[in-house]
């Protein structure tokens, strides 16, 4: 290959190119964004439509059904689910993974634009789920109080300070998209009408609202131009104080002007509360900070922390601003854990190399491929817009043990060529050894690298979250392997070239003949004048570099000698052990070739045992990441006041803080909607609340379970409270177990939903069982008598608007206070709208001579409807959801199916199990297809490499052996099957065949040289034992730190490392026995014909000298 010749002849150019790659790699590293996970495009859209005052049944018929019918024809829609509740409709569209969601959003908007909904329904909003919608940082602002609880005035000031000072300061931070404030009390001006007085004066509430709106106005009046000057005309009539509002003239009665204060009370109050936030039990204000979509979470958090120092300096003495959540902390810890695992794996791989090679310089030459390949990978990551995340760095960590394989092959072959040349040429001329040795194995290492990289191609066809989640990992492994190939073909031969003559070359460089002194007068004068310049030049560019090089070489030799002395006992023990292993292996192989049936039967039994173990492993979709915290969401009966929800949440927070010997670091409670920016239809409302519990850093899983058990015990005594426990989610999935009961009759759905829910609760496998259909909000229904309305010259629309204004109130205008606006709400006094009797007494004819109450023209009565109506596939369903308390997901699915079959459902109902099990089946099917395709890709590469159809089939026997080893490893470590394990199996297909390739290829080489088959098998096994053990150990030890499960985010990395380590170890041990036996059995040719272009030794085919040094 020409690139090899260039690299050997121009080592300085190769060095400069390498330095350039390293430089740009470090620059790229600094510019890579840092995130916890890759940018996942979740294929879901939520269409949210508000319909104030509408019951769930009305929302279903007037909003949800028309939207379902309109968007059901959108391309790529896989599933349509709608939830209709009081005043709101959520229609969730699930698309196929891989759908262009930007294009899908445009198509959905087009369908919504032409949809005709009733005029009083607000325009539908399109929401997308994205993990970046979670706040990057949450702050809690609290104040000191002597009584222990904050007064109304304190809560109003706290909210105002958060909005005016903290929010404005943080919104200007680079990378911050929004800052939302929740909790506290928000200022509002209340005008409380006495409807009796207003009726006596014949002033309708609606007229008062219109009057207030018309009087509170500043307007431009135009411009006056004259010869001397131009004037702007302005009308200034905005309210400047509450007295201005009170003294507003709203009408005349019997010749007298009526002011607002004659019929109403004007007061500074606060908006109806929609959220209560508490921090460690103390009420306060939440400040949620959201980052921009493409911003670096870690950098944004650093800038926010810097700005918070400024905020804290100006904070009032009785206020406390605390950080209650920081997403960047977990991200940094997870990224640092992956980095540490990669570095430790690289060090262990280098140690194995040194123990085998026993040569410090050879170890350094091979090991340099690790940092160079990794840093070069950063360039390719930056070019492909791949961020630094757990998956991309995990790919680099996985590749660390593989990066040295190509370099080992090249350096070994160069060393062999040098020895051959020196044996034949007494002049010790080995100038061509580097280029010849590299070119000889170049085809083989290219083919072997392609074999490993080929297994990642099928990941393109993986559906579900696995395809997107592991794309970055597949690309980074491929980038690193490609970089290691380039390093092996350029940098390694350049470094290995003339290593034995470096000292001579060094002497030649600095003992070259000095230039002749000038003989002419002019030349002598010039020589004298330029002497200082030449002296400085030589000092800077000759003598100082020579001295520095001498010092470095001296230090290098001292370090090398010291390490040789330090590791000498370990090297002796290691080699002694390996020699004993080689002797035992030779005897075992000889016996195996004589008992081939026994060997094959044993291998089949081991593989069969692994197959029998698979059902016992259990299955799950994605491992749950433990971040040292969990949350409990509670749902009270619909219609429960916010104060009751807050009471339940605060009780749970106090219990959590007093459990497990104060292993709880802090709690954060939110009752109501708060600062949620979420498309989840089941969150929010006065009857909903969430408690986040953060454990101390040294808390164990048992401590967390203890706290959960204490909370569940309390909740068990509250039968009307539904609770769901969860840990922070990195992915959006349905509940682990979800049963859909489809039908039309809501009463039947509620009845059988409760029955199946109770049956699930009886099993210890399930926890937090909830049903979607419950009793809804208590409704005060008003049914008009149209005949009576007609006799009184009234109509239903006018009376309905009057009721809405008196009970709910209307914002008439906004009151200006400095640079902010405060809403002015107009409604009747509280004692005239706080119960059924008050509503029945509402005057419906304020202009009439005789006041007429609502009860005279309508029936007013209490009723309870469903809390919500859920539809899936345009059919009503009841959803029963449950978390796993124990056991595996596949066991829970089996139990759920059994419960359904044991329940006697009427013919009008049908039930099925969905939830995560549905996603798991989809992902597993596509991953199984990708696994089979990966094996086929490996076979294609090997068949092309060997020019044979039989030998690749023999080598592929290593794949089921590796699978069996992985199964045994998963069983021993109690690791269930999940998508991470499947990705590890796919990777294993490309790694495990290399050892078998080494063995079969050497056997073929010897047989082409005329060696008898049995002798060729024994000789190849002997010579290939060392390189097989060597590369296996470098790969395993490179992955070992990841397998220990240490550090944040280890739950995602550990299953893959366990799969690869056990699979490779098991397959390597059996490959050394089974592959020779199969070869002797199936290859019946007496002798192989030599090839014109003989197949070279693949990437792992290292032939080390007896001494072990290169």
**CA-CA-CA-CA torsion sign (64, 68, 74, 77):** positive
Q: What is residue 544's predicted lDDT score, i.e. its pLDDT?
A: 73
Q: What is residue 577's predicted lDDT score, i.e. its pLDDT?
A: 84
Residues 938, 976, single domain; the answer is yes
Average pLDDT, the chain: 81
Banded model confidence at residue 425, pLDDT cuts 50, 70, 90: low
Whole-angstrom Cα distance, residue 1041 to residue 1057?
9
Residues 66, 24, single domain; the answer is no
Residues 9, 63, single domain; the answer is no
Whole-angstrom Cα distance, residue 743 to residue 878?
8
- Burial (CB < 10 A; 0-12, 13-18, 19+), residue 168, is exposed
Whole-angstrom Cα distance, residue 727 to residue 722?
17
Banded model confidence at residue 1106, pLDDT cuts 50, 70, 90: very low
Mean pLDDT of 88-93: 88
- Sequence-distant (≥ 6) Cβ neighbours of residue 117 within 8 angstroms: 49, 62, 63, 66, 124
Residues 473, 547, single domain; the answer is no
DSSP category for residue 499: G
* Alpha-carbon distance values, 733 to 42, 194, 622, 915 (Å): 10, 52, 10, 8
Which token pair is 145?
């109080």
617 in a domain, yes or no? Answer: yes
pLDDT tens string 885-902: 777 777 888 888 999 998
CB 425 within 8 A of CB 460: no
- Percent pLDDT > 70 in the chain is 88
Banded model confidence at residue 304, pLDDT cuts 50, 70, 90: very high
Whole-angstrom Cα distance, residue 131 to residue 696?
25
CB 406 within 8 A of CB 488: yes
Q: Which of 128, 144, 173 is the last residue of a domain?
A: 128
pLDDT tens string 700-721: 778 888 888 888 888 888 888 8
Which residue matches tokens 């392609």? 450
- Helix, strand or coil for residue 764? coil
Whole-angstrom Cα distance, residue 280 to residue 656?
10
pLDDT tens string 335-388: 888 888 888 888 888 888 777 777 777 778 888 888 899 999 999 999 988 888
Mean pLDDT of 498-510: 46
State how beta strands 820-828 and 187-193 pair.
parallel
Q: Which of 664, 699, 727 is the last residue of a domain?
A: 727
Q: What is residue 701's predicted lDDT score, i.e. its pLDDT?
A: 79
Which token pair is 266?
């004007």
Q: What is residue 1099's predicted lDDT score, i.e. its pLDDT?
A: 40
Q: Among 966, 954, 1040, which residue's Cα sits nearest to residue 995? A: 954
- Sequence-distant (≥ 6) Cβ neighbours of residue 213 within 8 angstroms: 812, 813
Q: What is residue 1085's predicted lDDT score, i.e. its pLDDT?
A: 65
CB 282 within 8 A of CB 158: no
pLDDT at 766 over 90: no
Q: Which domain holds residue 99?
A: 44-128
Which token pair is 278?
């508490």
Instruction: Look up the pTM and report it.
Output: 0.75
Residue 134 main-chain phi, psi, to 5 deg: -75, 145
Which token pair is 287?
């400040």
Which token pair is 517?
């002194």
Identify which has the larger pLDDT, 98 or 786. 786
Say how many C-beta atoms besides its own lie within 10 A of residue 54's C-beta: 22
Identify which has the larger pLDDT, 697 or 316. 316
pLDDT at 866 over 80: no
User: How far, in whole angstroms, is CA 1004 from its chain's centroid?
Assistant: 48
Banded model confidence at residue 509, pLDDT cuts 50, 70, 90: very low
1060 in a domain, yes or no? Answer: yes
Whole-angstrom Cα distance, residue 74 to residue 99?
12
326 in a domain, yes or no? Answer: no
Whole-angstrom Cα distance, residue 215 to residue 1069?
91
Residues 923, 1062, single domain; the answer is yes
Q: What is residue 557's predicted lDDT score, i.e. its pLDDT?
A: 65
Mean pLDDT of 746-764: 88
Residues 806, 822, single domain; the answer is yes
Residues 605, 660, single domain; the answer is no
Q: What is residue 506's predicted lDDT score, i.e. its pLDDT?
A: 44
- Burial (CB < 10 A; 0-12, 13-18, 19+), residue 255, is exposed
Whole-angstrom Cα distance, residue 52 to residue 30?
50
Q: What CATH code is carried by the domain that includes residue 105?
A: 3.30.70.1430
823 in a domain, yes or no? Answer: yes
* Tally of domains within the chain: 6
Banded model confidence at residue 23, pLDDT cuts 50, 70, 90: very high
Which residue matches tokens 């200007």? 172
Mean pLDDT of 314-332: 86
Whole-angstrom Cα distance, residue 85 to residue 93?
18
Burial code (b: 16+ CB inside 10 Å, e: under 16) for 974-1011 equals: ebbbbbbbbbbbbbbbbbbbbbbbbbbbbbbbbbbeeb
Mean pLDDT of 81-93: 86
Q: What is residue 1095's predicted lDDT score, i.e. its pLDDT?
A: 42
Residues 607, 637, single domain; the answer is no
Residue 819 main-chain phi, psi, to 5 deg: -105, 20
- Helix, strand or coil for residue 324? strand
Q: What CATH code is carried by the domain that includes residue 1001?
A: 1.20.1640.10
Residues 996, 1043, single domain; the answer is yes
Q: Among 1049, 255, 1020, which residue's Cα sits nearest to residue 622? A: 1049
pLDDT at 1087 over 60: no
CA angle (558 as vertex; 557, 563 as ends), nearest 5: 100
- Burial (CB < 10 A; 0-12, 13-18, 19+), residue 226, is exposed
Which token pair is 1068?
């390597």
Q: What is residue 1110's predicted lDDT score, i.e. its pLDDT?
A: 39
Q: Within 973-1049, where are the H helices?
A: 979-1008, 1013-1043
Q: What is residue 1010's predicted lDDT score, i.e. its pLDDT?
A: 82
pLDDT tens string 784-813: 888 888 888 888 888 888 888 888 888 888
Which token pair is 528?
């004298």
Residues 637, 783, single domain; the answer is no
Q: What is residue 1098's predicted lDDT score, i.e. its pLDDT?
A: 42
pLDDT at 262 over 80: yes
- Sequence-distant (≥ 6) Cβ neighbours of residue 64 within 8 angstroms: 82, 83, 84, 89, 91, 869, 871
Whole-angstrom Cα distance, residue 737 to residue 913?
7
Helix, strand, coil share (%) of the chain residues, nearest 5: 55, 20, 25
Q: Which of 825, 840, 866 is the last residue of a domain?
A: 866
CA angle (147 as vertex; 141, 153 as ends), nearest 5: 55
476 in a domain, yes or no? Answer: yes
pLDDT at 440 over 80: no
pLDDT tens string 31-80: 888 777 777 667 888 888 888 767 788 888 999 999 999 888 888 888 89
DSSP category for residue 830: G
Whole-angstrom Cα distance, residue 634 to residue 687?
8
Mean pLDDT of 1008-1013: 83
Residues 429, 546, single domain; the answer is no
- Sequence-distant (≥ 6) Cβ neighbours of residue 794 within 8 angstroms: 844, 845, 857
Which residue matches tokens 């230090």? 555
Q: What CATH code is carried by the domain that includes residue 802?
A: 3.30.2090.10
* Alpha-carbon distance values, 913 to 82, 890, 906, 927 (Å): 18, 11, 17, 22
Whole-angstrom Cα distance, residue 550 to residue 557?
11
Distance between first and last Cα of the chain: 23
Which token pair is 981?
């394990």
pLDDT tens string 100-148: 888 888 999 999 988 888 877 888 888 776 555 678 889 999 988 766 6
Mean pLDDT of 574-597: 87
Residues 76, 2, single domain; the answer is no
Residue 129 main-chain phi, psi, to 5 deg: -80, 135
Mean pLDDT of 288-313: 85
DSSP category for residue 156: H
């Amino acid at each position: 290959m020409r690139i090899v010749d260039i690299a050997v002849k121009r080592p300085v150019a190769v060095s400069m190119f390498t330095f350039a790659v390293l430089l740009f790699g470090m620059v790229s590293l600094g510019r890579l964004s840092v995130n916890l996970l890759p940018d996942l495009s979740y294929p879901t859209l939520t269409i949210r439509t508000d319909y104030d005052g509408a019951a769930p049944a009305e929302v279903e018929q007037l909003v949800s059904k028309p939207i379902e019918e309109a968007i059901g024809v959108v391309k790529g829609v896989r599933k349509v689910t709608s939830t209709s509740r009081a005043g709101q409709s959520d229609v969730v569209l699930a698309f196929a993974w891989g759908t262009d969601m930007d294009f899908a959003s445009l198509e959905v908007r087009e369908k919504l634009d032409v949809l005709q909904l009733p005029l009083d329904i607000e325009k539908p909003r399109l929401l997308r789920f994205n993990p970046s919608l979670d706040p990057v940082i949450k702050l809690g602002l609290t104040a000191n109080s002597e009584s222990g609880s904050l007064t109304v005035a304190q809560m109003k000031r706290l909210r105002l300070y958060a909005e005016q000072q903290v929010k404005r300061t943080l919104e200007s931070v680079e990378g911050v998209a929004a800052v939302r404030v929740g909790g506290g009390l928000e200022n509002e001006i209340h005008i409380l009408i006495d409807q009796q007085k207003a009726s006596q004066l014949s002033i309708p509430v609606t007229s008062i609202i219109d009057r207030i709106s018309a009087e509170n106005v500043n307007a431009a009046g135009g411009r006056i131009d004259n010869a001397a000057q131009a004037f702007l005309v302005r009308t200034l009539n905005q309210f400047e104080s509450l007295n201005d509002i009170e003294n507003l003239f709203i009408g005349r009665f019997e010749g007298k002007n009526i002011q607002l204060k004659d019929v109403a009370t004007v007061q500074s109050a606060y908006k109806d509360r929609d959220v209560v936030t508490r921090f460690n039990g103390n009420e306060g204000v939440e400040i949620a900070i959201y980052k921009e979509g493409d911003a670096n979470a870690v950098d944004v958090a650093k800038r926010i922390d810097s700005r918070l120092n400024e905020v804290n300096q100006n904070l009032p003495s009785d206020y406390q601003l605390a950080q209650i959540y920081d997403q960047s902390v977990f991200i940094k810890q997870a990224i640092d854990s992956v980095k540490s695992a990669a570095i430790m794996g690289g060090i262990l791989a280098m140690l194995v190399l040194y123990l085998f090679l026993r040569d410090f310089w050879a170890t350094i030459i091979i090991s340099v491929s690790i940092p160079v390949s990794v840093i070069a990978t950063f360039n390719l990551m930056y070019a492909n817009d791949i961020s630094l995340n757990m998956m991309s760095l995990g790919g680099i960590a996985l590749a660390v043990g593989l990066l040295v394989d190509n370099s080992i092959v090249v350096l070994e072959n160069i060393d062999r060529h040098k020895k051959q040349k020196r044996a034949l040429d007494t002049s010790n001329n080995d100038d061509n050894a580097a280029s010849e040795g590299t070119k000889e194995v170049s085809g083989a290492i290219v083919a072997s690298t392609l074999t490993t990289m080929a297994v990642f191609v099928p990941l393109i066809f993986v559906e579900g979250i696995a395809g997107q989640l592991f794309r970055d990992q597949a690309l980074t492994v491929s980038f690193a392997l490609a970089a290691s190939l380039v390093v092996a073909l350029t940098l390694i031969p350049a470094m290995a070239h003339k290593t034995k003559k470096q000292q001579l070359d060094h002497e030649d460089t600095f003992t070259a003949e000095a230039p002749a002194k000038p003989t002419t007068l002019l030349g002598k004068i010039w020589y004298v004048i330029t002497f200082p310049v030449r002296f400085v030049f030589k000092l800077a560019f000759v003598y100082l570099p020579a001295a520095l090089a001498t010092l470095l070489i001296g230090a290098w030799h001292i370090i090398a000698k010291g390490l040789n002395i330090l590791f000498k006992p370990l090297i002796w023990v290691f080699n002694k052990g390996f020699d004993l292993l080689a002797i035992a292996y030779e005897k075992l192989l000889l016996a195996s070739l004589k008992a081939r049936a026994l060997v094959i039967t044993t291998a089949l039994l081991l593989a069969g045992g692994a197959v029998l173990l698979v059902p016992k492993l259990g299955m799950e979709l994605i491992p749950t990441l433990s971040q040292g915290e969990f949350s409990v969401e509670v749902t009270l009966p619909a219609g429960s006041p916010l104060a009751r929800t807050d009471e339940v949440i605060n009780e749970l927070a106090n219990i959590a803080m007093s459990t497990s010997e104060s292993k709880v670091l802090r709690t954060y409670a939110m009752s109501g909607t708060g600062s949620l920016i979420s498309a989840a239809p089941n969150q929010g409302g006065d009857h909903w609340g969430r408690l986040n519990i953060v454990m101390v850093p040294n808390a164990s899983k048992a401590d967390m379970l203890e706290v959960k058990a204490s909370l569940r015990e309390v909740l068990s005594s509250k039968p009307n409270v539904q609770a769901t426990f969860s840990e922070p989610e990195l992915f959006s999935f349905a509940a682990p177990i979800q049963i859909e009961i489809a039908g039309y009759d809501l009463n039947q759905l509620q009845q059988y939903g409760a029955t199946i829910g109770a049956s699930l609760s009886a099993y210890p496998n399930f926890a937090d069982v909830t049903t979607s259909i419950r009793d809804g909000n208590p409704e005060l229904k008003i049914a008009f008598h149209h005949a009576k309305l007609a006799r009184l010259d009234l109509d239903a629309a006018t009376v309905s608007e009057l009721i809405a204004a008196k009970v709910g109130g209307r914002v008439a205008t906004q009151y200006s206070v400095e640079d902010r606006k405060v809403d002015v709400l107009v409604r009747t006094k509280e004692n005239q709208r706080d119960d059924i009797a008050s509503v029945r007494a509402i005057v419906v004819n304020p202009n009439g001579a005789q006041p007429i109450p609502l009860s005279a023209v309508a029936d007013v009565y209490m009723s309870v409807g469903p809390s919500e109506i859920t539809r899936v596939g345009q059919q009503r369903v009841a959803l029963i959801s449950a978390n796993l308390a124990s056991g595996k997901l596949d066991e829970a699915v089996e139990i759920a199916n059994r419960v359904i079959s044991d329940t006697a459902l009427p013919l009008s109902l049908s039930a099925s199990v969905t939830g995560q099990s549905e996603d798991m089946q989809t992902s597993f099917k596509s991953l199984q297809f990708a696994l089979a395709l990966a094996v086929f890709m490996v076979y294609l590469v090997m068949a092309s490499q060997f020019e044979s159809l039989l030998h690749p089939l023999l080598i592929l026997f290593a794949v089921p052996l590796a699978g069996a080893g992985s199964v045994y490893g998963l069983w021993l470590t109690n690791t269930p099957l999940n998508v991470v394990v499947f990705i590890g199996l796919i990777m294993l297909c490309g790694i495990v065949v290399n050892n078998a390739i080494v063995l079969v290829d050497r056997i073929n080489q010897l047989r082409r040289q005329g060696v008898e088959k049995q002798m060729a098998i024994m000789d190849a096994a002997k010579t290939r034992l060392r390189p097989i053990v060597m590369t296996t150990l470098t790969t395993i030890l490179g992955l070992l730190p990841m397998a220990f499960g240490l550090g944040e985010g280890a739950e995602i990395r550990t299953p893959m490392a366990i799969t690869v380590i056990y699979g490779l170890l098991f397959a390597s041990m059996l490959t050394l026995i089974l592959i020779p036996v199969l070869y002797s059995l199936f290859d019946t040719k007496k002798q192989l014909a030599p090839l014109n272009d003989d197949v070279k030794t693949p990437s792992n085919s290292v032939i080390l000298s007896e001494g072990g040094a290169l």
